[in-house]
Structure 1
Amino acid sequence: MTTVRTPQSPDTPAEPTRAAKAARPTGPVGRSRSFNTPSTAQTATRYLLLVLVLLLVIGPFLWQLSTSLKGPAEDVYTRTPSFLPDQPTLGNYGKVAEVIPVWTYALNSVIVAVVCITGNVVGCTLAGYALARLRFRGAKLVLGLFLATLILPGEVTIVSQYVLVRGLGLADTLAGVALPGSIAMLNVLLMRTAFAAVPAELDQAALVDGANVWQRLWHIGLPNVRGMLSVIVIFTFIGAWDDFLWPLIVLNDPQKYTLTVGLQYLNGTFAANPRLIAAGTMIAFLPIVVVFGVCQRFFFKGVEEGAVKG
């Protein structure tokens, strides 16, 4: 009997050969290690580097905190210092208020920070929106001038700033301290970038509906840049609160000193108590932690709510 072989149609898949069958993996799919999956040694190295960076960043802060809690009988200059205080006490914080008017200095710093934050939020928002959305003559020139001011370091213009502040009659005043930081050029550029990222079709649709510039800014622009506003608030507060050189130049009356300038009186000419210095440092540092923790929550919330959905 003769076997007739029918020709295989091109649509019918060919039967795999024995070699192809042998080359196929017999185990379950997905067990092979991906090239992007780190090995155990690589994972351990990464965590070791993270712990090292954490110690370098958090270590000085924890050491200052430990020093501020040490009692007067503990020796902070011993060869083998103890990280945990043997006699923990909060009396050093009370002694700081006895040596210097720390709460008056803190209030002065709060006033300067509030003025700087208000000026940057309002001024940088208006300037950034104008550069990003409005069309006027000289817009590129103005943007170039803003960029040019970023090249100059602050030490170059500090003399001219003091002459201007003194000419306005604001020397030895908190207003003179806050005035140069009321509008930062970098914040203007950040707001311009944030407004430029908003789709132009939204402004065009609002313009067709009869919305003016202020309505477009309030109802379209601001809801989409709340995350950037939070960033500006955080860094403006940190810059105004930690500034030391400019308040030291402008202010002469000790009662008007900001906190960072007033803390220098904790370091005496002939003697210095490192416990009081550490306690004063913690007093100046805690408001930054509080503001950053609060605004960080609003930062992520603003980014989520301000996202433009398609």
Structure 2
Amino acid sequence: MSTELISPVTAIADAEHDAAPVEPAERRGRAPLTTGGRIRLVFAHLGVYLAALIFVSPLVYAFFSALKPNSEMFSMPPTLVGSELRWSNFADVFAYGPFLTYIGNSFFVAIAGTLVVLTVSTMAGYAFGRLRWKGRDLVFVLFLGTLMVPQEVLVIPMFQVMQWLGWVDSYPALIFPFAFTAFGTFLMRQFFRGIPFELEEAARVDGAGPIRSFLQIILPLAKSAVAVLAVFTFLSFWNSYLWPLIVTVDYASHGTLPIGLASFSGLQGTRWDLQMAAAIISMVPTTVLVIALQKHLVKGIAMAGLGGR
């Protein structure tokens, strides 16, 4: 067996070469931008900024409208800022009616409804996407068919069911009728089908059953999809108006924020300044939620539709 002798100079040179920083492959392969490429990049950024300005403009106008006196809401010509900034409008919202109760009811209904939807949709999505049982695809098609039925068609039979259960003017009536929708199940099913089946098969070889595989293998990998579903569900419960308006009798006790916003319009006129201030207040929780889960939202939306074995 022959042994190759390496000189100290060669060894030091090889060590310096190995220790030298390696330029990333994507940077090495990136061609410099041409003049046309720079122009397209500038126009792309301008388009993004213009779209952002268009979407933000109504929010800015609503915020400054909440600071106007009520008599200047429809002044001509229209102005962005009123003659004075009435920050007291935000405090007057809570003195005008039980607005704090509306906020508390909306938080309770939205959080409880979101938890129920996440529990049901993740389990149903796992059953439709990962388990094999007779008639699975047919049941799933029928389940998706419920998405084509408008909510306005369902309110009368749902109200009759609430009467039969004795749930009219109660929190369960605001939570459970929309806790078993097909949208969440479809979203979770698509995400679950994108997870490699080999992970679950390896867990079953180690003795894990379907429930343990779901809780310890599949569900931890679906955090992004769960975050997407949580945000969409929370927004749906938070902004729901028609069903709470029908099933609620005592608005002062079980009314939600959309009903509270409508309460600023009465026989003696509409307090547009307070209604705008209340609308701004109602947007704060949802805005904070979306910003906090923005990373998971982008990842979940991008990955939820890529499955489909």
Fold match by TM threshold 0.5 = yes
8 Å CA contact 2:228, 2:301 repeated in 1: no
Task: Indicate the larger mover: 227-236 or 140-149.
Answer: 140-149
8 Å CA contact 2:224, 2:296 repeated in 1: yes
Question: For residues 128-170 of structure 1, what are the alpha-carbon distances to aligned partners after superposition, in whole Å with 9 as ceiling and x for unaligned?
Answer: 1111111222211211111211222222222221111221111
Question: For residues 244-295 of structure 1, what are the alpha-carbon distances to aligned partners after superposition, in whole Å with 9 as ceiling and x for unaligned?
Answer: 0010010011221111112211122232222111101111111111121222
What residue number does 1:135 align with?
A: 132
8 Å CA contact 1:118, 1:182 repeated in 2: no
Distance 1:166 1:49 in 2: 52
C-alpha deviation, 1:302, in angstroms: 7.8
TM-score, normalisation: structure 1: 0.80
What residue number does 1:16 align with?
A: none
Distance 1:31 1:107 in 2: 56
Looking at secondary structure, tell me which structure has more helix per residue: 2
What residue number does 2:220 align with?
A: 223
Question: For residues 60-118 of structure 1, what are the alpha-carbon distances to aligned partners after superposition, in whole Å with 9 as ceiling and x for unaligned?
Answer: 1111100112356x733222333235422320011111111101011111111012101
8 Å CA contact 2:110, 2:237 repeated in 1: yes
- Structure having the higher Rg: 1
Distance 2:33 2:126 in 1: 53
Distance 2:188 2:32 in 1: 48
SS in structure 1 at match of 2:207: coil
SS in structure 2 at match of 1:180: helix
Q: For this pair of structures, how many residues does the alignment match? A: 272
Question: For residues 193-219 of structure 1, what are the alpha-carbon distances to aligned partners after superposition, in whole Å with 9 as ceiling and x for unaligned?
Answer: 111111011111111111111211112
What residue number does 1:91 align with?
A: 88
What residue number does 2:285 align with?
A: 287
- Pairs within 5 Å for 1:224-263: 224-255=221-252, 256-263=254-261
Structure 2, unpaired ranges of 5+: 1-30, 303-309
Distance 2:268 2:50 in 1: 37
8 Å CA contact 2:72, 2:82 repeated in 1: no
Distance 1:217 1:108 in 2: 33
What residue number does 1:278 align with?
A: 276
Distance 1:300 1:50 in 2: 17
8 Å CA contact 1:226, 1:303 repeated in 2: no
1:194 to 191, 195, 217: 191
Structure 1, unpaired ranges of 5+: 1-29, 305-310
* Letter matched to residue 134 of structure 2: R
What residue number does 1:212 align with?
A: 209
* Letter matched to residue 245 of structure 1: L
Corresponding position: 1:125 with 2:122: yes
* Letter matched to residue 196 of structure 1: R
2:110 to 113, 133, 136: 113
C-alpha deviation, 1:224, in angstroms: 1.3
2:165 to 148, 163, 168: 168
